[in-house]
Structure 1
Amino acid sequence: MVRIGAGTGALVRRVIAAHVPAARGALFAAAACLAACASLPGSGPSAHDIKESGAGVIRVVDVDDSVVKRLLERRADKLFSEVFETAPARGEIVRPGDVLEISVWEAPPTVLFSSGIPLATANQSGSSSGPPSSGTSSNVTNLPPQMVDVAGTVYVPFAGTLEVTGKGLPEIEADIARHLQGKANKPQVLVRRTANNTAYVTIVGEVANSTRMPLTPRGERLLDALAAAGGTKAPVDKVTLQVTRGAAVHSLTLDTVIRDPRQNIALQPGDVVTALFQPLSFTALGATGKNEEVNFEAKGISLAQGLARAGSLLDTRSDARGVFIFRLESSAVVGLGETAATAAGGQVPVVYRVDLTDPRAFFLAQRFPVENKDILYVANAPAAQLQKFINLLVSTVYPIQGVVTLTK
């Protein structure tokens, strides 16, 4: 231990006696300034500061039942069953690009197709998919496979060029037979689509294997398409399905499609199914148990769930009256009109305030929807700021008092 001599000790006492009162006065003056300017160290603005900012560009909205209803109405996704037609499954519909194989039977005595293969021979060789409805000695003629041209037509000898686009196979068969009436002897026709080049659904995105799935008369549905692509890479609760049909594009969470069979819609040729992995998240700041980015599932979460995932409010610091959600909203949602000050993209900076000292606020928190990129901020309580000031005061005064005691 270092001892201070009598002469030196007297000098130190005189210096401290001369300067400590001034130091204390300066300290209290600085403390008053800090309290007035709210410049003590902190994790963000106080509840009072945020409320005062509502008089400027930022809009501060107290959350009540009407606000929650308005947000839920805007957030509600349109269901696939509401926006897409659920037409019953149809037979094979022919379109340009499909390849057709046409077989014609003619009863004896044959007139046009006398060089055809006898029915028995055709059945044995497997060149015909089935016999005609009558006669066992008729001949079958298999025409060369034809691709439906861009005009949607095919050519059949003695029947001419026939329009086939948009027709089912039975309709095409009847059309050909009608054109051969009076030319062939009791003609019967069988049409097969040997190459389906148009009735496809494309599946892309976060799936095991992007693919094109052919549609059949069974009527494949949305989940059939996902299965054909090997399923999704990401968990079900984090995937959104987007269906593009013509100019219409709509999205719905995969979890909703699985839980509601009505959303497992029948697909149509040309549909594009995209599996989107959307890692939605919000950021928790301030007097919460964890200050971090928190991920949540595609179906969304409520404010109550968000607070729980952020570690809830800290008893020693938080102001239960100062729970805030910072978000950029469209002016229509908050009812501010076109004259409202907007940020980039034409959105309005809005702060939603929830007072958790009111028991009714917990029911609102159960319904208030958290959005992607939200900032959840919990302000420090005024008492916490006071405690910071006291700690600062004590940490400054006690060392000086210790020096004075040491020199006595």
Structure 2
Amino acid sequence: MAWTNLSLCEKDFKNMIYNKLHRTLLLLLPIVALSGCVTTPGWMMRDGPSSNDITDLAVKPNAPVLLLPIDAQINQMLAVAQKHDNFALGLSAAPKPNYVIGPGDELNVSVWEAPPPVLFTSGLASVTGGMGSSAGNVTFPAQRVSSDGTISIPFAGTIKVAGLSPQQVAARIRKALKGLANDPQVLVQVPSNASAMVTVVGDVQQSIRMPLTAAGLRLLDALAAAGGTKDPVDKETVQITRGKEVLSVPLRKVIDNPTQNVALAPNDVITVLNKPMSLTVLGAVAKNDELNFEAQGISLAQALGRAGGLLDNRADARAVFVFRFEQPGVLGKLAKSAPHLQNGDVPVVYQLNLMNPAALLMAQNFPMKNKDVLYVANAPAAEFQKFLTIITSSIYSVDRVVNISAGN
């Protein structure tokens, strides 16, 4: 039926519409006001999960995430885990800088006899091909240690040298010549070291492979020999591969902490990585974005500051969440009852309640990690405000329809 054919007068028609809307609102508002403290209507669009959505998910049977409050105990747990992310504790100790010979090394062997020479006479020295030889004194041509770790010395035969120091090799040769030469004295030198090398690659000025010396070599020594890093130290991460062990530490941490400038071991591989670190910030903050941060890391307080802080008119200060995949070793006993992914990681949600003043101190000590997701949920009042906006818009739309239908 057309509005113009209504038998009611314009004023009565308006009153009827308003009265129905008024009664409807009186019924809806108390219900929404009560339920809005817990959740929001399912038909309303939201920016993300509410605080209750996340906490309810974590308490369900076979919950897919582990929910942990950010407090002093959690910060202590993470700090202990971070202590193991360093070269001094995380890597097996390098051997003492007492050089030992290995396959591929080049050796120079010299023998002296006490006078009168018995074995290494001037004629025999010439036959052996010694360089700079004379009666009672012979220096054999340089020879490389074979793959089975041996060398050959005239009259002494095959000598096992791998795993020995030059002094120990000299003692073995001297023992083999005893009874053949007159009180032989032996000197062994290593002009070319091929078995105890360190490799430096990655974001350095020049990739190099350098020998370890008897004096020892430290991490920063090797980086300096490679010409230093290409980018500022705050952006670089250093990785050491030692056998099956692989560990990475920010270069800034190595420079600031002398204990991280560890001694290197034979066959160590040092890789300098310019590995961008980032986290994603979502929810009721001033800036939803992917934030890049320095290799040495930032705290939760710094991350919130770089995101512009919480929005006063939207954010639930009790609902600051950090979503992260943690290794079970970080969580200790907490990992036993936690859900695990196929790769062994544990999905964890850390919650910070900024309504507690002490939480600001907790946030300064909570370390953010690469690929973290920082999420701030909307406050229930903000969701309720959305509902009121929808209702108000609906009333305004009906009022326009009534006015148009009445010919106004």
Which TM class, normalised by the smaller chain length? 0.7 to 0.9
Determine what percentage of the aligned residue pairs are the same residue: 43
Cα gap change, 1:27/1:350 in structure 2, threshold over 3 Å: closer, same or farther?
A: farther
Name the CA distance, whole Å, in 1 between partners of 2:262 and 2:93. 8
* Counterpart in the other structure of 1:158: 155
State which drifts further: 308-317 or 39-48.
39-48
Q: Distance in 1 between matches of 2:395 and 2:332?
A: 50
Please list, as runs of the form range in 1=range in 2, the aligned pairs for 1:331-342 lying within 5 A after superposition: 333=331, 335=333, 338=336, 340-342=338-340
- Contact 2:206/2:227 (8 A) holds in 1: yes
Q: Which has the higher mean CA deviation after the structures are superposed, 278-287 or 101-110? A: 101-110
In the alignment, what sits opposite 2:292? Answer: 295
Counterpart CA distance in 2 for 1:340 and 1:142 is 69
Provide the residue aligned with 1:350 in structure 2.
348
Q: Distance in 2 between matches of 1:368 and 1:98?
A: 50
SS at match of 1:278: coil
C-alpha RMSD of the superposition: 3.8
- Per the TM alignment, residue 304 of structure 1 is displaced from its structure 2 partner at its CA by 0.9
State which of 226, 230, 239 in structure 2 corresponds to 1:229.
Answer: 226
Whole-Å separation in 2 of the counterparts to 1:344 and 1:16: 66
Q: How does 1:151-300 map to 2 (within 5 A)?
A: 151-185=148-182, 187-300=184-297
1:364-386 per-position Cα deviation (integer Å, ceiling 9, x unaligned): 11112223322111111223223
Q: Which residue of 2 aligns with 1:54?
A: 58
Q: Distance in 2 between matches of 1:12 and 1:117?
A: 135
Q: Normalising to structure 2: TM-score of the pair? A: 0.79
Given that 2:107 and 2:188 are in contact with CA atoms closer than 8 Å, whether structure 1 keeps it comes out as yes
Q: Judge conservation of contact 1:116–1:140 (CA < 8 Å) in 2.
A: no
CA deviations 1:235-257 (Å, max 9, x no partner) are 42343333233344433332222
The 5 Å alignment of 1:3-402 reads: 17=14, 24=21, 28=25, 37-56=41-60, 57=63, 58-82=65-89, 83-85=91-93, 87-90=95-98, 92-106=99-113, 110-111=117-118, 112-115=120-123, 138=135, 140-185=137-182, 187-329=184-326, 333=331, 335=333, 338=336, 340-402=338-400
Secondary structure at the residue paired with 1:370?
coil
SS of the equivalent of 1:115 reads helix
Q: Distance in 1 between matches of 2:326 and 2:114?
A: 75
Change (3 A) 1:172 1:60: closer
> Which SS does the other structure have where 1:48 is aligned?
helix
The 1:73–1:16 alpha-carbon spacing in structure 2 relative to 1, beyond 3 Å, is farther
Please tell me whether the aligned partners of residues 96 and 151 of structure 1 are also in contact (alpha carbons under 8 angstroms).
Answer: yes
Which stretch of the first structure deviates more once superposed, 195-204 or 106-115?
A: 106-115
- What CA distance in whole angstroms lies between the structure 1 residues aligned with 2:187 and 2:343? 60
Structure 1 residue 344, shift from structure 2 partner: 4.0
Q: CA deviation at 1:330?
A: 5.4
Deviates further, 350-359 or 102-111: 102-111
Between the aligned partners of 1:227 and 1:342, the Cα distance in structure 2 is 42
Change in Cα spacing, 1:190 to 1:51, as seen in structure 2 (3 Å) is closer
| SS of residue in 2 equivalent to 1:102 | strand
Q: Which moved more, 1:99-108 or 1:308-317?
A: 99-108
The alpha carbon displacement at 1:88 in A equals: 4.1
Q: TM-score, normalization: structure 1? A: 0.79
CA displacement at 1:342 relative to structure 2 = 3.9
1:12 deviation in Å? 12
Deviations 1:231-288 (A, max 9, x none): 3344423433332333444333322221122221222222222334432322110011
CA distance in 2 between counterparts of 1:383 and 1:95 reads: 73
State how many pairs are aligned: 387
